[in-house]
Amino acid sequence: MIGARLLRLSRRIYPRRLRDALHDDMVEVFVRERRRLRERRGWWAAVLFSARTTLSVLVDAARARLTGVSSSKPGRPPGGLGHDLGHAWTGLRSGPGYVATVVITLALGIGVAAAMFSVVDHVLLEPLPHPAPERIVRVWRTLPQFDWMRSPVSAPNLEDWREQASSFELLAGYSGARRGTYLGDEFPTRIAAGHVAGPLWSILGARTLVGRLPDVGEVDAAAPLAVVAERFWRERLGGDTGVLGSLLEVEGVRPRIVGVLPDEVGMLPRGVDYWMPAAATPSSEERGANFLQAVARLRPGVEAAAAQAEMEGIVGSLAERYPDTSAGSGVWIEPHRDFLVRDIRTLLTMFGGCAALTLIVVCASLTGLTLTRVYSRGRELAVRAALGATTGRIARQLLIESALLGLAGGALGAGIAHGLLRAFLAYGPEGLPRRAEIAVDPGILLYTAVAAIVAGLLIGLMPARRAAHVARRGGLSGGQTGAIEGIAPRGYRALRTLAAGQVALSTVLLVGAALLGNSFLRLAAVDPGFDARGRLTAHVALPESRYGDPESAGIFFEELLERTAALPGVIATGATWALPFRPTYGSGVYEVDGQPVPEGTELLIGLVPVRGDYFRAMGIPILEGRAFGAADGAGSAPVAIVNQTMASRHWPEGGAVGSGFRRGEQEVRIVGVVPDVKRESLAADSLAEAYLPHVQAGWASELYVVIHAEGEPGRLVTPLREALRGMDPELPATSIAPMEELVGRTLTEPRFRMVLVGGFALFAALLSLLGVYGVIRLVVASRTPEIGLRMALGADRAGTAARVVVSGLRLGLLGVGIGVPVAWAVAGTADSLVFEISPTDPATFVAVAIALVAVVGLASWLPALRASRIDPVIALRG
């Protein structure tokens, strides 16, 4: 598609009289010919044909512009091109510094743009890798009273939806990872199971690497049928096809392996090691067990709005029929693509925009540099003109030079794009969808090639036009003074416009980088509500087969905490089900006596079961009241410690301790208040939360153990594993990590965002400073005789230097004056990317503007210094 689009666009590059029906006909022939090649000789032949035709059209259009004719004479053999290539090569060899600067700068610009475009293209633009992707939708259960729009659904409700809804061609569900103990390795480890209900594989268009996929409803009486993930199959099962038909060594229900699913199947959550039927889970028959994410393919011709209307009726009737489990539920049909990119669209658009701006700055900067070089080559060009070269021929040679540089920059840029893409995938946004699809593929290489050629021609077009003028004027450099003649006012205007444009675009990028940097510093300074230093955390999950009742689980954890507390250097140990920055979290509805809530709404509270000396182990201070003690046992009155959000919501004047709240039939007494603790991210506000004694909560057979010790927490990993093995050799400790690392991970993405945009901005700013420097230097060089005359007539050196600096400052002010309103308009759309700072923060804008103008002034200082040292005698003689 890109080739045809470019060719259609190329109509605008041709002179007006050549934009006729013949051009349209050529594009149509191009499309037919490319289709023929793809069908007969494969996509690579089609790509080569596209690239070759695009290049020849661009060169032809540029030549038509420059020479006023559509080309050399029709049918002329291409021998002239070789001649021009030879001249271009000689010309480039005479300026190795210029060549290196252009190639490296262009490679960076193209590499960054290609990498970012690759990400944007694969994530936001490419069709999803499923059959009829535009008809795939998510079907969410909603809970409007809590403002929850994306909730899972239970297996019985999903089955009712599938039976009653006529809008869907296919409807299925899947659950994320549910962990179990894997006994196939030397030591027991935890692996993740996903569950599938309905024709999920058909919706995804999934195929196995080896083996097969279970049919919908296929049941094996002996064992549920499972497909294992490719990564798990290769790493843990040795990539052995012999495992097909064998049982997977997991504790509890052992599924039979029938196939291997490739890693690149889209939509599925990452980290799942094997998939088995949802029917194999005990909760699959409970209407209140909402654990499946529903996904559907609409029937052809059915719009999402029609499906929404039908599903609202179905969900409403189910709510009437099953009020205990379904009352208050709604439904929301969301296009799958919208769901996938919901959190990432703004970020990727910003990255893509920054890369495009950077590439524009690169082209503008190199155009200025090439233009400057044209003026400094005035003598050579004049000699060529004197020897009979036409202006068209000279322009063509310069265009070929820049096209060659563009190609070299593009080739290097492709390598840089590959490296950047790998870095992006390694350090970029964690929730990036379609990650497996992102790569430097032939399509992106074609884009890179086209970008390189277009950039090369753009860089050369204006200088080539000026070259004809310079050759005619016979601009010769002025001997020992270094003066340059032959620069017309139009040449100055072009250079100034380019430099000011670069400063303007750099302003936009620098404002973005400053806002993100400011946000990052504020985020890093957020108090998480606990002390992460010196804390080691580990996840311990007790299998239901051996620790099914709360009592035995309680005894186990009590002993584990005692053993870890006895380790050398340990200050305190505790455990919790919901550790900050870990995925497990639960919530429930509550009421406070005497504080009614509006009709149709309910109060929600986060529930955090804790055990042992948890608050001390986490460094969470008790602000009021007390921590849990031995008296808060299973048979005692229910107690809780609440966070400040909860306390101030209901008891703003104080007095939370001693008060209480109700959860169902249970009265809970508040015995303490602790600070708000960050859970999901440092940026998110805390919910109202209640910490409950684990023994009273009566659930949670998996806890995160927290050990606070002197010194480096990593030294406790082995003693912790040994303590656990001493209690139960089949029980692994997983997700072992220092608490500081968990906090640090939350800063990874904002840091990456800041570094990437900061890198764009600094690169662009550096180029624009070099651009300003180049313009001012050229101005000084071309006006050397004039400056010499002024000095001979009494102008002082300081005044001369000041005038040069002022001319640079004018350029800076012009660029900043254009850039600030543009940045203001762009920043207003990026509210979700900044933290605790307005995207139009005036102080940031003012600081960037002042800094940029000041640095532009400094860039003008060197040429100013040179101007002030001009010897009037030599200048006038030259």
Query: Is 18 among the residues that bind other proteins (CB under 8 A)?
Result: yes
Helix/strand/coil for 344: coil
854's tokens: 């000041």
CB of 56 to other proteins, least distance (A): 4
Sign of CA dihedral 60, 66, 68, 74: negative
Angle at 236 between CA 233 and CA 238, to 5 degrees: 70
Instruction: Return the residue matching tokens 């790509």.
Output: 47
CB of 39 to other proteins, least distance (A): 14
Here's the x/- map for other proteins, 485-514, by CB under 8 A: it reads as ------------------------------
Query: Is 1 among the residues that bind other proteins (CB under 8 A)?
Result: no
Query: Is 126 among the residues that bind other proteins (CB under 8 A)?
Result: no
- Nearer to other proteins by Cβ, of 31 and 439: the residue is 31
Among 56-64, 324-332, 458-466, 552-560, the segment contacting other proteins (CB under 8 A):
56-64
Which listed residue (4, 26, 565, 814) binds other proteins by CB under 8 A?
26
Among 22-30, 669-677, 717-725, 827-835, the segment contacting other proteins (CB under 8 A):
22-30
Nearest 10 degrees: Cα torsion 643, 649, 654, 656: -60
**Three-state helix/strand/coil letters over 164-188:** HCCCEEEEEEEEEEEEEEECCCCCC
Query: Is 4 among the residues that bind other proteins (CB under 8 A)?
Result: no
- Nearer to other proteins by Cβ, of 30 and 845: the residue is 30
Q: How far apart are CA 670 and CA 644, in angstroms?
A: 12
- Nearer to other proteins by Cβ, of 17 and 93: the residue is 17
- Nearer to other proteins by Cβ, of 40 and 93: the residue is 40
In 3D, which of 68, 27, 180 has the Cα closest to residue 545?
180
Q: How far apart are CA 481 and CA 801, in angstroms?
A: 17
Which listed residue (23, 38, 256, 803) binds other proteins by CB under 8 A?
23
Sign of CA dihedral 756, 762, 763, 765: positive
- Nearer to other proteins by Cβ, of 73 and 93: the residue is 73
Which listed residue (21, 426, 525, 793) binds other proteins by CB under 8 A?
21
Which listed residue (13, 37, 46, 53) binds other proteins by CB under 8 A?
53
CB of 88 to other proteins, least distance (A): 20
- Nearer to other proteins by Cβ, of 25 and 831: the residue is 25
Query: Is 29 among the residues that bind other proteins (CB under 8 A)?
Result: yes
Which listed residue (5, 8, 32, 207) binds other proteins by CB under 8 A?
32
Among 20-28, 183-191, 310-318, 731-739, the segment contacting other proteins (CB under 8 A):
20-28
Phi, psi of 508 (to 5 degrees): -60, -45
CB of 59 to other proteins, least distance (A): 8
- Nearer to other proteins by Cβ, of 49 and 339: the residue is 49
**Three-state helix/strand/coil letters over 729-761:** CCCCEEEEEEHHHHHHHHCHHHHHHHHHHHHHH
Which listed residue (41, 56, 493, 533) binds other proteins by CB under 8 A?
56
Query: Is 30 among the residues that bind other proteins (CB under 8 A)?
Result: yes
- Nearer to other proteins by Cβ, of 33 and 871: the residue is 33
- Nearer to other proteins by Cβ, of 55 and 99: the residue is 55
Angle at 614 between CA 608 and CA 619, to 5 degrees: 110
Paired with 528 in beta bridges are none
Q: How far apart are CA 668 and CA 593, in angstroms?
A: 11
- Nearer to other proteins by Cβ, of 74 and 97: the residue is 74
Among 53-61, 172-180, 222-230, 817-825, the segment contacting other proteins (CB under 8 A):
53-61
- Residue 754: partners with Cβ closer than 8 Å, 6 or more residues away: 513, 516, 517, 519, 520
- Nearer to other proteins by Cβ, of 57 and 827: the residue is 57
CB of 405 to other proteins, least distance (A): 22
CB of 363 to other proteins, least distance (A): 24
- Residue 160: partners with Cβ closer than 8 Å, 6 or more residues away: 314, 318
Helix/strand/coil for 570: strand
16's tokens: 């007006």
CB of 3 to other proteins, least distance (A): 11
Q: How far apart are CA 815 and CA 422, in angstroms?
A: 35
**Within 62-101, which residues bind other proteins (CB under 8 A)?**
70-71, 73-77
- Nearer to other proteins by Cβ, of 77 and 598: the residue is 77
Query: Is 222 among the residues that bind other proteins (CB under 8 A)?
Result: no
Using CB under 8 A, count the residues that bind other proteins.
23
CB of 53 to other proteins, least distance (A): 5
- Nearer to other proteins by Cβ, of 72 and 648: the residue is 72
CB of 45 to other proteins, least distance (A): 13
Among 29-37, 141-149, 476-484, 590-598, the segment contacting other proteins (CB under 8 A):
29-37
Which listed residue (4, 60, 563, 721) binds other proteins by CB under 8 A?
60
Helix/strand/coil for 54: helix
Q: How far apart are CA 649 and CA 630, in angstroms?
A: 29
Which listed residue (4, 33, 210, 878) binds other proteins by CB under 8 A?
33
Q: How far apart are CA 84 and CA 398, in angstroms?
A: 9
CB of 46 to other proteins, least distance (A): 14
Written as one string, the DSSP assignment of 628-651 is: --TTS-TTSPPEEEEEHHHHHHH-
CB of 75 to other proteins, least distance (A): 3
Written as one string, the DSSP assignment of 108-152 is: HHHHHHHHHHHHHIIIIISPPSSSSGGGEEEEEEEEGGGTEEEE-
- Nearer to other proteins by Cβ, of 37 and 294: the residue is 37
Q: How far apart are CA 556 and CA 551, in angstroms?
A: 9
Strands 189-197 and 274-277: parallel
- Nearer to other proteins by Cβ, of 68 and 654: the residue is 68
User: How far apart, in Å, are the Cα atoms of 836 and each of 518, 525, 526, 709?
Assistant: 9, 11, 10, 34
- Nearer to other proteins by Cβ, of 53 and 293: the residue is 53
Q: How far apart are CA 714 and CA 127, in angstroms?
A: 45
Q: Which residues bind other proteins (CB under 8 A)?
A: 18, 21-23, 25-26, 28-30, 32-33, 52-53, 56-57, 60, 70-71, 73-77
